[in-house]
Structure 1
Amino acid sequence: MELIAVIKGAWGWTGLKPDQIVGDNDFGNLMIKDETGRYWRLCPEDLYCKVVANSRAELDHLSQDQDFLQDWYMTELVQQARERLGPLRPGFKYCLKIPGTLGGEYGGDNLATISFDDLVTASGDIAQQIEELPDGAQVKLSIID
């Protein structure tokens, strides 16, 4: 399935109507242009997908922000994942086994690889399930085959 369709299916509940993928990183973060020209950041490890720029000019300005760039490239975490897990195979991304939003560690034994499509789908599903929960709510993950 085309990644745009995967994004729409997994994250459409946020209001995102994806038109074009503008960029991605080794942890499957995506910069997505929607049908209205806004730019969204999909962040699987933190279970969010939100508008970060309302125009290309705003995105260009954001891309000059050093804090944003450090967060986007995730250099130290990518390096740790590469050392622990090796280089990425085509179609795969690094991920956190337990997302940071749910208390997962940013590194160590919580690092894994996953197909890009599965990462987008799983993170969107989990994010939708916890969307209405208050901060600090107890969550139980159940893995079903």
Structure 2
Amino acid sequence: MSIFLEKLLPVCSGDISSGKGQKLPAAFHDYPLIEDLINLLNKRNGFYGFESALHVFPFQTDGEEIGLIDWNDNSLWIECYDDLARNALFFAEDVFGGQFCIKQKGIYSFDPETGAFEYLARDINEWCKIIMEDYDVLTGYPLANAWQKKHGPIPVGYRLVPKVPFVAGGEYEPDNLYLEKSTVAIKARANIALQIRDVPDGSNIQLRLIDKD
């Protein structure tokens, strides 16, 4: 029984896309937790939580609301990371566009500025548990709340992105955040990840930032 999933859903939005019981491409079924994910989306077909800080993708794209299948299309953004973002199924994101994904050994986070994966949970139910226990850190809720009090709601398809990248010392403060379309933001940050992929920890870095599309 997914007890923590059942506890998370009541504090989140309703379905953000119509239609349940949809099929996912055959390639998605190579991931061991795919049935967990299908169960989640059949209960709530995409949703927002913690004042839009948490965003779970629905099955299919619906208007401006991008779906799981399109988000995991390599040509959309994954190939921009070269080989850094491969072998993962991305199903949710925090307010900064940090990704949550399924890999062969469980649920991981993916940092869009470094291209690094970090293990979080063994399955979707445990992921729901740790989200509820530590949503301030894992979703960025405090900054989402503070930014929206000043600027208004985050529109569909957008995330809050640091003006000065966090990996370059940018502060976790509302004044260091701006609104950007999710696809534009994550592709721009792939450029950062590729620049620092072979730089040892603690080294000085000089980033070359690309113009937004």
Same topology, TM > 0.5: yes
Gaps of 5+ in 1: none
Partner of 1:64: 129
Q: TM-score, normalised by structure 2?
A: 0.55
When residues 129 and 141 of structure 1 are mapped into structure 2, their CA distance, relative to the original with a 3 A threshold, is closer
When residues 26 and 102 of structure 1 are mapped into structure 2, their CA distance, relative to the original with a 3 A threshold, is same
8 Å Cα contact 1:63/1:69 also seen in 2: no
Supply the RMSD in Å over aligned alpha carbons: 2.7
Q: How does 1:74-89 map to 2 (within 5 A)?
A: 74-89=140-155
8 Å Cα contact 1:40/1:49 also seen in 2: no
Map Cα deviations across residues 72-98 of structure 1 (whole Å, 9 max, x no partner).
121211112213432212211111112
| 1:41 counterpart = 2:109 | yes
Q: TM-score, normalised by structure 1?
A: 0.76
- State how far apart, in whole Å, the 2-side matches of 1:69 and 1:17 are: 26
When residues 15 and 38 of structure 1 are mapped into structure 2, their CA distance, relative to the original with a 3 A threshold, is farther
Q: What is the identity percentage for the equivalent residue pairs of Structure 1 and Structure 2?
A: 19
- Between the two proteins, the alignment pairs up a number of residues equal to 140
- Which of the two has greater helix per residue? 1
- Which of the two has greater strand per residue? 1
- State how far apart, in whole Å, the 1-side matches of 2:93 and 2:174 are: 23
Using CA pairs under 8 Å that are at least 6 residues apart, name the structure with larger relative contact order, 1 or 2.
Answer: 1
Q: Which residue of 31, 37, 41 corresponds with 2:100?
A: 31
- State how far apart, in whole Å, the 1-side matches of 2:198 and 2:191 are: 13
When residues 142 and 129 of structure 1 are mapped into structure 2, their CA distance, relative to the original with a 3 A threshold, is closer
Q: Which amino acid aligns with 1:134?
A: P
Q: Highest Rg: 1 or 2?
A: 2
When residues 132 and 62 of structure 1 are mapped into structure 2, their CA distance, relative to the original with a 3 A threshold, is same
- State how far apart, in whole Å, the 1-side matches of 2:86 and 2:106 are: 10
Map Cα deviations across residues 98-132 of structure 1 (whole Å, 9 max, x no partner).
22111001114311011101122122221121021
8 Å Cα contact 1:31/1:42 also seen in 2: yes
- State how far apart, in whole Å, the 2-side matches of 1:54 and 1:10 are: 26
